Amino acid sequence: MPPVFRFAPSPNGYLHLGHARSALLNADLARASGGRLLLRIEDIDIARCRPAYVQAIYEDLRWLGLAWEQPVRRQSEHMTAYRDALDRLEAMGLVYPAFESRREVAHMVASRGEAWPFDPDGAPIYPGSIDAMTDSERAALIATGAPFALRLDMVAARARAGDLFWIEHDVGRVMAKPEDWGDVILARRDTPTSYHLAVVIDDALQGVTHVVRGRDLYWSTSVHRLLQALLDLPQPHYRHHDLVLDDTGHKLSKSTDATALRVLRARGVTPADIRRRVTLPVD
């Protein structure tokens, strides 16, 4: 079976040099190994994703010289697949509704008056737990229409899955530490899945064997391994590449005039120039 690679951008802005590194590296690795390249549009965040950005992704990638298989999977079209996975986790007793907004969580943490742990993305670990309320208290709140997030009971999930590793390119076995994320959100009332759940389901459904993505997602892999173990999904190989940094040494989070592929293209920059900028070989 040929290896299967994927590039999975979120259409919430224009592609920048960081995306170019990921997309081109995936394409190079697929070509060198006789593998397949998939493109996946990660558009579950309806508030931030725009159809125009999806079209721009296709244009920018074609300009870079990429070819990918059809049809392109768009996450927004597969919400039932994520819902099914969530149902399975719920049936295992690993998911519970929690009602605090982000601001309320920040407030709860501040009111502890002690050093509080943060997750690898810099957000405070959720200070509540599944034991904070009974099932009937939660049901009563849901009946009032209160917004909620479905969280993973990390202690129970960890206990069920046991110790986990993933295989990282050039490193070997890396011990997964999903507990560093606390009771992560798996879905919200109005968004039936989180990034973590959708990515794991899609990689499995699409038969992805190699996940090649930026180093900013390195520790997310801990949560992904846990969900794969709980849902009995195969584990791909992982390769987290260095990020493209801006002049101040920070990762590119938004496209700017200095980094957006379409701006660079309009200025006469060539795809070969882009490859050089992201330190990939030019043939």
Nearer to ligand GLU, 113 or 122 (CB): 122
Residues whose CB falls within 8 Å of the CB of residue 55, separated by 6 or more in sequence, listed in order: none
Q: In angstroms, how far apart are the furthest CA atoms of the chain?
A: 64
Cis amide linkage into residue 120, ω under 30° from 0: no
Burial of 28 (0-12, 13-18, 19+ CB in 10 A): middle
| Token pair for 188 | 């919200």
Q: Quote the CA–CA distance of 82 and 89 in Å, as a whole number.
A: 11
Whether the Cβ atoms of residue 29 and residue 212 lie closer than 8 Å to each other:
yes
Which residue number, 96 or 238, has a Cβ lying nearer to ligand GLU? Answer: 238
Stretch that binds ligand GLU, among 4-12, 56-64, 143-151, 236-244 (CB under 6 A): 4-12
- Which residue from 3, 4, 5, 10 is in contact with ligand GLU, where contact means CB under 6 A? 10
Of 217, 233, 243, 263, the one binding ligand GLU (CB under 6 A) is: 217
Supply the minimum distance, in Å, between the C-beta of residue 242 and ligand GLU: 15
Cα Rg of the chain (Å, integer): 20
Determine if 9 is a binding residue for ligand GLU (CB under 6 A).
yes
What is the contact mask toward ligand GLU in residues 183 to 202, using x (rule: CB under 6 A)? ----------------x---
Backbone angles phi, psi at 106, to 5 degrees: -60, -40
Stretch (H or E) spanning 137? helix 135-143
Residue of 16, 196, 210, 213 that binds ligand GLU (CB under 6 A): 213
Whether the CB-CB separation of 152 and 130 falls below 8 Å is answered with: no
Distance from C-alpha of 165 to C-alpha of 221, rounded to nearest angstrom: 9
Whichever of 16 and 275 has its CB closer to ligand GLU, that residue is 16
Give phi and psi for 229, each to the nearest 5: -65, -45
Minimum distance from CB of 143 to ligand GLU (Å)? 35
Judged by CB under 6 A, the number of residues near ligand GLU is 7
Contact pick of 4, 8, 17, 278 for ligand GLU (by CB under 6 A)? 8
Q: How far is the CB of 269 from ligand GLU (least distance, A)?
A: 22
Indicate whether 210 belongs to the interface with ligand GLU (CB under 6 A). no
Minimum distance from residue 87 beta carbon to ligand GLU (Å): 23
Neighbouring C-alpha atoms within 13 Å toward the C-beta of 13 = 15
Shorter beta-carbon distance to ligand GLU: residue 19 or 158: 19
The window from 2-10, 77-85, 240-248, 265-273 that contacts ligand GLU (CB under 6 A) reads: 2-10
Minimum CB distance to ligand GLU, residue 183 (Å): 21
Size of the chain in residues = 283
In three-state secondary structure terms, 264 is helix
Q: Name the segment binding ligand GLU (CB under 6 A); options: 3-11, 62-70, 136-144, 182-190.
A: 3-11
Both tokens of 272, joined, read 């070969």
Tokens 């049936």, located at residue: 91
Of the two residues 9 and 178, which places its CB atom closer to ligand GLU in the complex? 9
Among 14, 15, 37, 42, binds ligand GLU (CB under 6 A): 42
Where do contacts with ligand GLU occur on this chain (CB under 6 A)? Answer: 8-10, 42, 199, 213, 217
